[in-house]
């Protein structure tokens, strides 16, 4: 809030009795307990009605000249159509007046007031009598309006109740602004993540082309690795790291010379040593990228073996990160069942027999067991 708003807010709070201030503090605490806009609006309108001892109310947000019915008390039925939540500002003259004057509008008896067709539908459907429309002000902008009213008899609103409305308006407007900022920040994170994912997939396709491997290989190992990791109890919150690790599993090969990487024949001992540097190359690359460092386990450790005979570090057993242990089974199975320049694909049965035979040697036995169950399923 700007200084003028702060000043007005402070002046109003000095005039409010302690009992009402205590109630407003509870409202403020409730509003701060969630970053979900619908929940904020529901808390706001229920609090407004409760403060004045009323049994009905509604709150609208204003977006690009349109009103959006955010919440009501009593709450709207679960099947209430989204289409019915929208209204044209011009169809509601009393709300228009609130927006243009930035001041409350009071109808002593809506049954005797001149109403537009849309207003009459709202009044009749809610059986409203006295109505108070109040602006939700954020700085100099009206971002919405809350409406409270009676359904049995007319009612006047005292000056201290109008002061309460102003204070509540400040609280609700700030809560709405916070939820919108939070939503925008979350969307920015999603957009950034999508951009990262698209970049990673681009890198992966380039690497597949350099390595003469089809794009389907990477897609298959990513999908199977995530599925197996989920079956083995890796939390959903970590599956994104597993997916990125599988996608980038051979990213270190970008630093391997084409003469070695694309050689159609068996590699010499010297060439094999060069090829075996790709996990370390991956570590050096990914360690510089905070977003990808949690996905490091697969690119760096997927050539380690359960019996300690793998590379680059000769890790043994549970020294090998779980994601890498899981991926190793998937990577070898898919490699064996795919055509390569130097050999034809094995049959599925031959590859599964190899996986079984290497359980406890190359592969983590539990990963083999769950993988075989998954393949059968």
Query: Which token pair is 259?
Result: 């003469």
Confidence of residue 1 (pLDDT cuts 50, 70, 90): very low
Domain ranges in the chain are 3-183, 191-376
Nearest one of 223, 359, 241, 362 to 370, comparing CA atoms = 359
- What is the average pLDDT across 348-369? 96
Instruction: Indicate the average pLDDT of the chain.
Output: 86
Evaluate if residue 333 carries a pLDDT over 90.
yes
Q: pLDDT higher for 106 or 174?
A: 106
Query: Which token pair is 262?
Result: 């694309």
Confidence of residue 2 (pLDDT cuts 50, 70, 90): very low
Lowest model confidence (mean pLDDT) among 22-26, 93-97, 141-145, 261-265: 22-26
Q: pLDDT higher for 358 or 179?
A: 358
Instruction: State whether residue 375 is helix, strand or coil.
Output: helix
Instruction: State whether residue 111 is helix, strand or coil.
Output: helix
Please tell me which residue in 26, 153, 253, 356 is annotated as part of the active site.
Answer: 253
- The DSSP-derived string for 255-324 is GS-HHHHT-SSPPPHHHHHHHTTHHHHHHHHHTT-TTTGGGTHHHHHTT--TTS--SSS---GGGS-HHH
Q: 3-183: what fold?
A: Beta-Lactamase (3.30.450)
Query: Which token pair is 113?
Result: 């007031």
Distance CA 39, CA 178 (A): 13
pLDDT of residue 210: 63
- The backbone torsions φ and ψ at residue 132, rounded to the nearest 5 degrees and listed phi first, read -120, 120
pLDDT of residue 367: 97
Q: 191-376: what fold?
A: Hypothetical protein af1432 (1.10.3210)
Distance CA 147, CA 57 (A): 5
- Tokens 């009103």 found at: 67
Distance CA 149, CA 146 (A): 10
Residue 26 catalytic? no
% of the chain surpassing 70 pLDDT: 90
Q: pLDDT higher for 356 or 85?
A: 356
pLDDT in tens, 69-127: 989 998 877 777 777 788 899 999 999 999 999 999 999 999 999 999 999 988 888 88
% of the chain surpassing 90 pLDDT: 47
Evaluate if residue 17 carries a pLDDT over 70.
no
pLDDT in tens, 253-298: 888 888 888 887 888 999 999 999 999 999 988 888 887 888 999 9
């Amino acid at each position: 809030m700007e200084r003028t708003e702060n000043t007005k807010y402070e002046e109003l709070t000095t005039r409010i009795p302690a009992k009402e201030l205590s109630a407003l503090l509870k409202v403020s605490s409730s509003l701060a307990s969630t970053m979900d806009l619908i929940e904020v609006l529901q808390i706001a309108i229920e609090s407004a009605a409760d403060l004045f001892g009323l049994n009905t109310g509604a709150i609208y947000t204003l977006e690009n000249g349109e009103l959006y019915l955010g919440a009501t008390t009593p709450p709207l039925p679960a099947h209430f159509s989204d289409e019915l939540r929208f209204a044209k500002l011009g169809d509601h003259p009393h709300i228009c007046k609130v927006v243009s004057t930035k001041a409350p509008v009071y109808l002593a008896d809506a049954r005797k007031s001149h109403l537009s067709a849309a207003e009459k539908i709202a009044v009749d459907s809610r059986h409203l009598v006295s109505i108070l429309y109040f602006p939700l002000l954020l700085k100099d902008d009206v971002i919405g309006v809350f409406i409270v009213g009676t359904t049995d008899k007319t009612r006047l609103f005292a000056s201290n109740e109008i002061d309460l409305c102003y204070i509540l308006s400040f609280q609700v407007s700030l809560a709405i602004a916070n939820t919108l900022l939070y939503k925008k920040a979350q969307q920015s994170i999603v957009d950034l993540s999508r951009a990262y994912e698209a970049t990673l997939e681009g890198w992966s396709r380039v690497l597949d082309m350099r390595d003469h491997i089809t794009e389907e290989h990477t897609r298959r190992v990513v999908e199977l690795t995530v599925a197996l990791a989920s079956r083995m109890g890796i939390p959903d919150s970590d599956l994104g790291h597993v997916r990125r690790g599988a996608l980038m599993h051979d990213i270190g090969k970008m630093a391997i010379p084409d003469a070695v990487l694309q050689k159609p024949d068996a590699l010499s001992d010297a060439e094999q040593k060069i090829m075996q540097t790709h996990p370390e190359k991956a570590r050096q690359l990914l360690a510089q990228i905070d977003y990808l460092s949690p996905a490091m386990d697969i690119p760096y450790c997927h050539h380690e073996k359960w019996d300690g005979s793998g590379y680059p570090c000769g890790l043994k057993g549970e020294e090998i990160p779980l994601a890498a242990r899981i991926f190793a089974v998937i990577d070898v199975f898919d490699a064996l069942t795919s055509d390569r320049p130097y050999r034809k694909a094995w049959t599925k049965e031959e590859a599964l027999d190899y996986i079984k035979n290497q359980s406890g040697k190359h592969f983590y036995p539990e990963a083999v067991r769950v993988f075989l169950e998954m393949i059968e399923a």
